[in-house]
Every structure is written in C-alpha cells, then in structure tokens.
C-alpha cells in the first residue's frame, strides 16, 4: 500500500448555509466486512442543497455531506472477497436493516429503519473513508470515473421510470439532474415521445440534445395533456396540480421530487379517471447495476449532465455553483 496521510479532509455543513472542509484523523483499519475507499469524484445533488439550506423534510446541519461517489478501493477487510485494492467502485448510500420484510423482499428503499450516508449518517465527501463492502458496486475498467459518478442519480431515474406502467407518451416536469436522468432512463426503457417542462432555456436545450421530443417553458404546461406517464421532479403544489391534470385516464403520475411539506392532490380527477399517483424513493441495488451498465455501454450521453468539475479546495464555491439556475451536475474532484 502506498503511504497514507495521517489525516483526512471531509466536506461538512456545520450550520445552515455553511460549507467547510474539516480535518479529521485517518479512519481506523477497515473492519472484516468493510473496505477503505479513496473517493475520486463526488457529485453534488439537489438534495444536498436542500439540507444545506434547511429545505430538506427531515435532515438539518450539522452534516458530513456526500452520497454520490465513485472511489478506488485502497484496502479490504479480512472477510471481503468481492473487491480488491485498486478496483473502482460506486457506493450505494442507502443503508437498510437487511432483516425487515421490505429488506427481505429486495426492497431496501422501503426499509423504515434505513439511513442514508450524507443525511442521517456521515456522508461520503471525504478524502478517505471506510464503507461496508455490501454497499459497493464494481465499476468496469472502461468506464470513466466522471461518468461513473452519475450512476447514483441515473439509478434514481431508472427506478422512477420502472414505477410507471405505460411509457407510451411521457411528460417530465423539471429538467435538473433528476429530470434529465428520468429522461435518459425513459429513453433506455424504449418510451414513446418524451416532453419536458423546465424554466431554464439552457436546460431545455440540453434535454433536446438528450432526446426529448419537445422542451417547454412552464407557461406552456397548462396546455399540455394526455400523457400515459407524468414524472413530477419538482413536487411543488403547482406542478403536482398540473401533473395530475396532464395525466391521461388510467395513467400514472410519479412523484420523484422531494417536497418539503404536505401537498394537496385533486382527488375528484384522480378518482374519476383512475389515475395512479405513485412515489419513487431512491432505488434498489439492481437500479445502480443497470445505471452502471448503461453508462459503460455508452448508450446514453450522460456526460452532458456534468456542468463543472471543481477541485476539493473549492468545495464551498462548488456548492454555490451547484445551486445556480443553469447548473446541472457539479462534481468535486476529491484529489
Ligand atoms: Zn443524489
Ligand atoms: Zn429493513
């Protein structure tokens, strides 16, 4: 093993609106089922910004952030056989109990006692860290680490698309990273025409490059309708109202956005026309595998989602940039 430093640096939100690089002692040797990781790239997610600015439904600073990571394996615990030093991996940040009915059924995202790294557990935004080997997904050699860093948000899109019954005609509300990942996933799934609604012109242009049939400004939303599947990646009251109205009878409305409070739904229309409103919460491990496979196969131009790659020393600016209207995915180069 090459010489390791005595200390690590971690990206933390010590208080609302504050981003700091904090020095900590180097982690202990990995436990029997753990792997010591050296992150390559960390993706900044809209949900991280919700936490930073106090808009997440249940997580507030102080938090050690980060849940979208591609990393190299530095050392493995005594019982780990699936991974070896030097290998590149993506981390599944959803730590479920493994024993409840949902976990036993292969639905760890339904586990009521699950916790997510970077939210209720310390995050992955660290120069070194130990992670359970069971949470790791191998990255094939040919896949660039910057693209592998997109596996987590793409898995969110793949999972959401899997919730809809009929992809004959699709509407996506919100063209940020998650909306665009839903677009990529819907295309992978062979969806019919996919329309997207997004206020920022540059993101609408990106959606068209990624294969959207049409990209509309929000003012056009009230004139759209008849979709067999609508994905609301915003989950504001106004977008939910429009999403329910734009879903055709018998269609599915999938809520992908994270609402910060309760919202009302137009029950008369949902009841009369048998419109299903479904939540989509994170993913299951198979969605991450599917995301890595799609990225490795080069089936989708996901690299276009990367707005900027900032060095770790500029972490504070990176979070600010990630919050700007025209940013999609900002990655931090962990060094
Ligand atoms: Zn994320
Ligand atoms: Zn469980």
Instruction: Examine residue 95 and state whether it is found in any structural domain, yes or no.
Output: yes
The ligand with the least distance to the CA atom of 91 is: 1
Q: What is the pLDDT of residue 57?
A: 83
Same domain membership, residue 328 and residue 249? no
Digit-coded pLDDT (tens) for 247-257: 999 999 999 99
Asked whether residue 219 falls in the same domain as residue 312, the answer is: no
Same domain as 167, residue 58? no
Mean pLDDT over 65-85 rounds to 98
Q: Are residues 195 and 245 in the same domain?
A: yes
Among candidate residues 229, 225, 236, 274, the one with its CA nearest the CA of residue 253 = 229
Smallest-distance ligand from the CA of 153: 1
* 147, part of any domain: no
Instruction: Identify the domain containing residue 328 by its residue range.
Output: 7-138+301-333
Tally of structural domains, the chain: 2
* 249 within domain boundaries: yes
pLDDT given at position 1: 54
Tokens of 115: 């916790």
Residues 200 and 320 in one domain: no
Measured in angstroms, how far is the CA atom of residue 275 from the centroid of ligand 2?
30
**Structure tokens, 256:** 């992908």
Question: Which ligand does the CA of 119 lie closest to?
Answer: 1
* Ligand 1 centroid to residue 130 C-alpha, Å: 20
At residue 260, the pLDDT reads 82
pLDDT digits over 160-214, tens only?
999 999 999 999 999 999 999 999 999 999 999 999 999 999 999 999 999 999 9
Residues 175, 217, single domain; the answer is yes
CA 131 to ligand 2 center in whole angstroms: 18
> Residue 280 pLDDT more than 60?
yes
> Residue 2 pLDDT > 70, yes or no?
no
Residue 223 lies in a domain: yes
Distance 156 CA to ligand 1 centre (A): 8
Given this model, what pLDDT does residue 21 score? 98
16 and 130 assigned to the same domain: yes
Q: Are residues 174 and 251 in the same domain?
A: yes
What string of H, E and C letters represents the secondary structure of 210-231?
Answer: CCCCEEECHHHHHHCCCEEEEE
Q: Please calculate the CA angle 90-143-289 and round it to the nearest 5 degrees.
A: 45
Closest of 162, 195, 186, 171 to residue 246, by C-alpha: 171
Say whether both 111 and 233 belong to one domain. no
Residue 212: give its domain's CATH number. 3.40.50.720
Residue 288 falls inside a structural domain: no
Q: 267 alpha carbon to ligand 1 midpoint, in Å?
A: 31
Please report the ipTM that was assigned to this predicted complex.
Answer: 0.96
> For a pLDDT cut of 70, what percent of the chain falls above it?
99
Is residue 113, in this structure, part of any structural domain at all? Answer: yes
248/327 same-domain check:
no
Q: Is residue 79 situated within a structural domain?
A: yes
Verify that 32 and 82 share a domain, yes or no: yes
Is position 294 within any domain?
A: no
């Amino acid at each position: 093993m090459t010489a390791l430093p005595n200390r690590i640096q971690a990206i933390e939100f010590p208080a609302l609106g504050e981003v700091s690089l904090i020095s900590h002692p180097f982690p202990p040797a990995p436990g029997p089922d753990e792997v010591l990781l050296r992150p390559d790239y960390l993706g900044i997610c809209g949900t991280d910004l919700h936490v930073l600015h106090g808009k997440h439904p249940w997580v507030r600073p102080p938090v050690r952030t980060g849940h979208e990571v591609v990393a190299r394996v530095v050392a493995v615990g005594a019982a780990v056989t699936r991974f070896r030093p030097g290998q590149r991996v993506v981390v599944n940040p959803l730590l479920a109990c493994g024993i409840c009915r949902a976990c036993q059924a292969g639905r760890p995202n339904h586990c009521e006692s699950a916790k997510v790294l970077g939210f209720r557990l310390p995050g992955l935004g660290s120069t070194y860290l130990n992670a359970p080997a069971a949470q790791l997904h191998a990255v094939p050699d040919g896949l660039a680490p910057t693209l592998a860093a997109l596996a987590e948000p793409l898995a969110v899109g793949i999972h959401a698309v899997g919730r809809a019954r009929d992809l004959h005609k699709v509407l996506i509300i919100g063209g940020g990273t998650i909306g665009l990942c839903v677009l990529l996933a819907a295309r992978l799934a062979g969806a019919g025409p996919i329309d997207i609604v997004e206020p920022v012109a540059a993101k609408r242009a990106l959606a068209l490059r990624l294969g959207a049939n049409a990209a509309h400004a929000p003012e056009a939303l009230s004139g759209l309708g008849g979709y067999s599947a609508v994905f609301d990646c915003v989950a504001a009251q106004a977008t939910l109202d429009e999403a329910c109205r734009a879903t055709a009878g018998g269609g599915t409305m999938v809520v992908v956005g994270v609402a910060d409070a309760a919202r009302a739904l137009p029950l008369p229309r949902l009841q009369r026309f048998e419109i299903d409103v479904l939540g989509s919460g994170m993913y299951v491990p198979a969605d991450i595998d599917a995301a890595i496979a799609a990225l490795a196969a080069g089936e989708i131009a996901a690299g276009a989602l990367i707005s900027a790659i900032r060095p770790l020393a500029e972490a504070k600016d990176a979070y600010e940039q990630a919050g700007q209207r025209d940013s999609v995915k900002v990655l931090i180069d962990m060094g």
